[in-house]
Amino acid sequence: MDKDGILHVLEILEVDKIRTFSSNVMCACFLADFRSGHSSWSDHADSMGISINPEGISLVNCFACGYKGTLAQAVSSLGRHEEKDYSALIKQIGKLEELDPETVAASVGDYDDSEAKLEETVLDESVLESWIPGAHQSIIDRGLTKETLRAWDTRWDAELKRVVVPMRRSGDNALVGAVGRTVIDHPVTYYNYWNFSKALYLCGEHMPKRGPEGIVVEGLLDTLAVWQAVKEEELDSYYAVVGLLGSSASEYQVRKLVRFFDEIVLFLDNDTAGWTGQRKLAKALQKRTIVKGIRYPERIGGDPADLMASGYKIEELIKKADLLVV
């Protein structure tokens, strides 16, 4: 968000002690009444810094109480403490930052501290009982083994004719949603069950083994296909696989990638959306970690799952990943 947008938000919140600089805005911490670290639970100085970022998300850092997050997260946290509805303001922030809806959703709620975990959906395991464990034959025909489908707890929704993969959170393995892929001619290829917010998670982030390098793909089947290829070649001690469930990454997914892996290999789809998403993601990551990209063989494959289904050894492409500089 640019400087004027930040000042607009602070005006609505009635924040004072504001100073502006070339790269950030300093102000009194508007969370001071609710967080330890401030003398007498109030901020008598301009302890909170908000980064000026005309091309994207503005980050917040309070040097007194240690709060860190996006501006939208900070406003959401304030609303929870004050029991006020700041949803309209949060939407305004999204428009001022010119973000897509998924990125805005990822910015709402302070997902890095304990109180904000209440914002995340955690489902009772019994909701999975309506589906049959296993998968449709069409998925197996694409090259996925029964061992892979079992490892990912893949299920079959006979009513909606979808292969369903439960989505789980890293750390505690909690069920947070599910994604189903149609096996019939349906206008909606992927369906998110229980209002699963894919911008908050990485598909596969719960899997127990994490190598120092993370391979990032787009789709649900791509995640399973590359995970299988890595495991079959016994490369899983070095590579881990996660999926964005889309061609673009939210800021929250970017932060998870940096936290999880020492190096990141991008293996997005071989199409316009994939090329655009890879460029944006590489640009977001390259200042924080080492980023590599996979070069598709000429005239072969639209995505990793297609490559595997055609019999191509995708693990060879992974080993030849090149350093990306955007």
Transcribe 21-90 into DSSP letters.
Answer: -SSEEEE--TTGGGSTTSGGGS--S--EEEE--TTSPPEEEETTT--EEEHHHHHHHHHHHHT---HHHH
Q: Given a cut of 80, is residue 300 above it in pLDDT?
A: no
Q: Which residue blocks in the chain are alpha helix, DSSP H?
A: 3-12, 71-82, 87-96, 101-107, 137-140, 146-151, 220-232, 251-260, 272-285, 304-309, 314-319
Same domain membership, residue 153 and residue 114: no
Average pLDDT (196-217) is 85
Give the model's confidence band at 208: pLDDT under 50 very low, under 70 low, under 90 confident, else very high: low
pLDDT at 118: 34
Same domain membership, residue 102 and residue 149: no
Same domain membership, residue 214 and residue 157: yes
pLDDT at 105: 43
Write down which residue in 85, 119, 153 finishes a domain: 119
Average pLDDT (257-261) is 90
Q: Report the percent of the chain where pLDDT is more than 90.
A: 31
Write down which residue in 119, 146, 166 finishes a domain: 119
Q: Given a cut of 70, is residue 69 above it in pLDDT?
A: yes
pTM for this predicted structure: 0.64
Give the structural domain span for 36.
3-119
pLDDT at 149: 94
Same domain membership, residue 147 and residue 96: no
Q: Given a cut of 90, is residue 203 above it in pLDDT?
A: yes
DSSP 283: H
Copy the structure tokens of residue 278: 């890879």
CATH number, residue 181: 3.40.1360.10
pLDDT at 41: 72
Same domain membership, residue 94 and residue 130: no
- CA atoms of 113 and 91, how far apart (whole Å): 22
pLDDT at 63: 85
Over the chain, what is the mean pLDDT? Answer: 84
Give the model's confidence band at 53: pLDDT under 50 very low, under 70 low, under 90 confident, else very high: confident
* Burial status of residue 161 (CB atoms within 10 A of its CB: 0-12, 13-18, 19 or more): middle
pLDDT at 82: 85
Average pLDDT (285-295) is 89
pLDDT at 121: 77
CB 72 within 8 A of CB 53: no
Q: Given a cut of 90, is residue 226 above it in pLDDT?
A: yes
Copy the structure tokens of residue 260: 């999880």
Render pLDDT for 93-121 as a digit per residue (tens, 0 to 9).
Answer: 887 776 544 444 444 333 333 333 335 67
pLDDT at 136: 82
Amino acid at 69: G
Same domain membership, residue 174 and residue 40: no
User: How many structural domains are present in the chain?
Assistant: 2
Write down which residue in 60, 85, 119 finishes a domain: 119
Same domain membership, residue 145 and residue 215: yes
Average pLDDT (116-139) is 79
Q: Given a cut of 70, is residue 155 above it in pLDDT?
A: yes
Average pLDDT (218-229) is 93
Q: Report the percent of the chain where pLDDT is more than 70.
A: 90
